[in-house]
């Protein structure tokens, strides 16, 4: 059965070219003329059949980067190939950081696009196989903490707390940045507790449309609202007797928080449209990457609910604070990829590539590292991963400056990670025209709005008022550019006139 590929581009010509190339490769295509339309397809009835996404970066209203962000927030995990113009490679790199698998430069040769698509689909198959296949063969323990890959003191402290939490039934709050492994710890806690053989039900509160949160959590009766064609029991009832894991709890609407408080306090839920409450017996584990105490102060999270959920807090440190885990995790993911696909030849990683990975800050934490390893395994030519398989990482860990060499920052000067992330270049007032100043005359950092306005004016001058090119080079949509011009009171025609007169 051929794979379905969603092609997203606001330019009908480019859309047809991509559609024709992909169709010749034996894939079926679905087209969308913008970011909002693409999200509608992915969340609609056709969404489950989409295997990959070919996405233009520069689009009005909802651009490609916004689409990537919203896919991640809604838990939609399909490989994405971004298309970009020759002058916006920086935007493509940014898209890779945001989770895109690969990028092609428009107009892309059909062979290049099909090769990228084939690799993306192989990557998706590899990831799925590593998860389901490993679990099927018992490689992912469903009980206890044996499956937590770590050796760092910071994580050992987390595991000590988690083991203590597992012996009780009190509510647990797991805090940490996105991708640090909050669900892994939650499953380990459940696996060591008295409910190990009971259901473990997960809910990503940030990925549920706001109008469906109550129904998904607490259930609904048939006919209770438009579209409720049958009865739905809800996640609380599904987890009855077991553990309910509420991820991104800070994203719950305030009105749903009231019902959640009652469920936690009284052990009962009110399904939408039901005449009676339903008793439930659950172990509740919540997780968030937000500062809930700050949200309480801002009135966006109920204080009474916060103290009900935050009985036993556990904070997981980001990967950049436990770099000694990176080597273990890299080899763990390589082994998982190898067990998932008989065609995978990769067995190890080179010392230089590993040092480069250890030097990187990993803003997406373990989830980003896992994706980077699976992508590298797909692209690797040999049986050892090298720096060449991590272009999106290598470009961000190389040193800059006149004495820079083409090698990872970890090797430059013998440093470990202090110089791994390039420091920003601060332009001084006496630098040549065309360089933005980061500091004012007093040596203080200038306001972001001032720097942004100056950058827009510089781009208008540099590209002679060609607004499409200005928007493309700045990496924003044309509608966004015109909105910023209006907000900042910039008249591009007047500015061009003043420059020419000068």
pLDDT at 378: 82
Give the whole-angstrom CA distance, residue 239 versus residue 219.
12
pLDDT at 434: 54
Ranges in the chain, pLDDT < 50: 130-142, 342, 398-433, 500-502
pLDDT at 303: 95
Q: b/e for 70-99, b at 16 or more Cβ within 10 A?
A: bbbebebebbbbbbbbeebeebbbbbbbbb
What dihedral do alpha carbons 359, 357, 321, 76 form, nearest 10°? 140
Residues 6+ apart with CB under 8 A from 1: none
Q: What is the 3-state secondary structure (H, E, C) of 133-187?
A: HHHHCCCCCCCCCCCCCCCCHHHHHHHHHHHHHHCCCCCEEEECCCCCCHHHHHH
The gap between the terminal CA atoms of the chain, to the nearest Å, is: 64
pLDDT at 281: 92
pLDDT at 452: 84
Backbone angles phi, psi at 269, to 5 degrees: -125, 155
Give the whole-angstrom CA distance, residue 105 versus residue 233.
48
pLDDT at 476: 82
Backbone angles phi, psi at 311, to 5 degrees: -75, -40
Sorted by where each starts, the structural domains of the chain and their CATH numbers stand as 4-136 (3.40.50.2300), 153-319 (3.40.50.300), 323-414 (1.10.8.60), 448-501 (1.10.10)
Q: What is the 3-state secondary structure (H, E, C) of 381-437?
A: CCCEECHHHCHHHHHHHECCCCCCCCCEHHHHHHCCCCCCCCCCCCCCCCCCCCCCC
pLDDT at 394: 67
Give the whole-angstrom CA distance, residue 284 versus residue 269.
14
Please list the helix, strand and coil fractions of the chain in percent, rounded to the nearest 5, in that order: 50, 15, 35
pLDDT at 142: 45
pLDDT at 426: 39
For residue range 213-263, list pLDDT tens digits in order.
Answer: 888 899 888 888 776 778 888 899 999 999 999 999 998 989 889 989 988
């Amino acid at each position: 059965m051929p794979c379905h590929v969603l092609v997203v581009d606001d330019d009908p010509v480019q859309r047809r070219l991509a559609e024709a190339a992909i169709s010749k490769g034996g894939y079926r295509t679905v087209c969308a003329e913008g970011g909002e339309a693409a999200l509608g397809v992915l969340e609609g009835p056709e969404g489950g059949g989409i295997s990959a996404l070919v996405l233009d970066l520069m689009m009005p209203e909802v651009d490609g980067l916004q689409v990537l962000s919203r896919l991640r927030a809604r838990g939609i995990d399909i490989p994405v190939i971004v298309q970009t113009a020759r002058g916006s490679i920086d935007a493509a790199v940014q898209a890779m950081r945001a989770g895109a698998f690969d990028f092609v430069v428009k107009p892309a040769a059909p062979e290049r696009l099909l090769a990228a698509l084939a690799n993306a689909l192989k990557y998706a198959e590899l990831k799925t196989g590593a998860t389901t296949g490993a679990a099927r063969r018992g490689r992912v323990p469903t009980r206890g903490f044996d499956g937590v890959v770590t050796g760092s003191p910071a994580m050992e402290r987390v595991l000590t707390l988690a083991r203590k939490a597992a012996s009780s039934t009190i509510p647990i709050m797991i805090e940490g940045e996105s991708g640090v492994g909050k669900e892994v710890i939650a499953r380990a806690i459940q696996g060591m507790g008295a409910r190990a053989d009971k259901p473990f039900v997960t809910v990503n509160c940030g990925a549920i449309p706001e109008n469906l949160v109550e129904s998904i959590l607490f259930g609904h009766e048939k006919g209770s609202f438009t579209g409720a064609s049958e009865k739905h029991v809800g996640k609380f009832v599904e987890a009855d007797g077991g553990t309910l894991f509420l991820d991104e709890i800070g994203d719950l609407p305030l009105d749903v928080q009231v019902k959640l408080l009652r469920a936690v306090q009284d052990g009962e839920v009110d399904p939408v449209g039901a005449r009676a409450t339903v008793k439930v017996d659950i172990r509740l584990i919540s997780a968030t990457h937000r500062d809930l105490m700050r949200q309480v102060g801002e009135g966006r999270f109920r204080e009474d609910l916060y103290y009900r959920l935050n009985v036993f807090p556990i904070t997981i440190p980001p990967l950049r604070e436990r770099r000694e885990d990176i080597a273990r995790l890299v080899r763990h993911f390589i082994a998982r990829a190898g067990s998932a696909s008989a065609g995978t030849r990769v067995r190890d990683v080179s010392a230089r590539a590993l040092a480069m990975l250890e030097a990187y800050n990993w803003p997406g934490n373990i989830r980003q590292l896992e994706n980077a390893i699976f992508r590298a395994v797909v692209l690797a030519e040999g049986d050892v991963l090298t720096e060449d398989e991590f272009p999106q990482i290598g470009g961000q860990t190389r040193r800059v400056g006149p004495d820079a060499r083409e090698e990872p920052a970890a090797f430059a000067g013998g440093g470990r990670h202090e110089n791994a992330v390039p420091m920003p270049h601060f332009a001084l007032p006496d630098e040549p025209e065309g360089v933005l100043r980061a500091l004012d005359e007093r040596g203080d950092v200038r306001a972001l709005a001032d720097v942004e306005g100056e950058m827009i004016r510089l781009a208008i001058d540099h590209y002679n008022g060609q607004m499409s090119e200005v928007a493309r080079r700045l990496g924003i949509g044309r509608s966004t550019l015109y909105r910023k011009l209006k907000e900042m009171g910039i008249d591009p025609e007047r500015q061009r006139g003043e420059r020419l007169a000068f």
